[in-house]
Structure 1
């Protein structure tokens, strides 16, 4: 069977309109969508007219267990879109273990460009942006 792929899709940070056309195309075409929190993702998808897709929870408490399942689905030909509650999956959000599993199992992996709280904050800070370090988000 043809190998599918895993696509990391950034989501808006606050404003639902801040999503790219390409992200919407991927979400509409995906066979299933892995979400950090399906209750949080469902309104975003509904807002953009995306329905009827299986939503699978992928969060810090189940990612180690869920990653092999998603890799197997991609190897069976499915296209899996991965979204976090806001921003880029894998940056202080689930996705890291799944990316590792894809690379280890030679599953095609694509990362779409898009919103990042880190870059948005850096640009808005007025600090020089030619070099910076990100050590994680502050605890609230």
Structure 2
């Protein structure tokens, strides 16, 4: 008798990770990556620095930060080369996901599409989508190394 392996993490494995915390961290990472991409695409080299609120600060004035993790990530990746490496790590983590998991991450966190609409787009039941979503969140967070921030 053959046992068919699912391409997604099982419920038992997904339950071992803090899914809700990973969701918040993934949102922060997406915002930071978008911010880094904007910064690196800027041809003008101002004396600018990033804050956790993703606002550009010209000169020495900085706004107060709202998230310790955001602030820490921004400080960790303060050099241009480190920012490029982090952006590459983000896209590699996204590409390493299974096709449906990738769609779920994009629909959920980047496009902010509602759960029911995602069910229709992927053509699956809410229970199946829930399993895929948990699997995608855990895998994506682990590939990005977000487990050390929990």
- Higher relative contact order, chain-length normalized (CA < 8 Å, sep 6+): 1
The structure where helix makes up a greater share of residues is: 2
Normalising by structure 2, we get a TM-score of: 0.24
More strand by share: 1
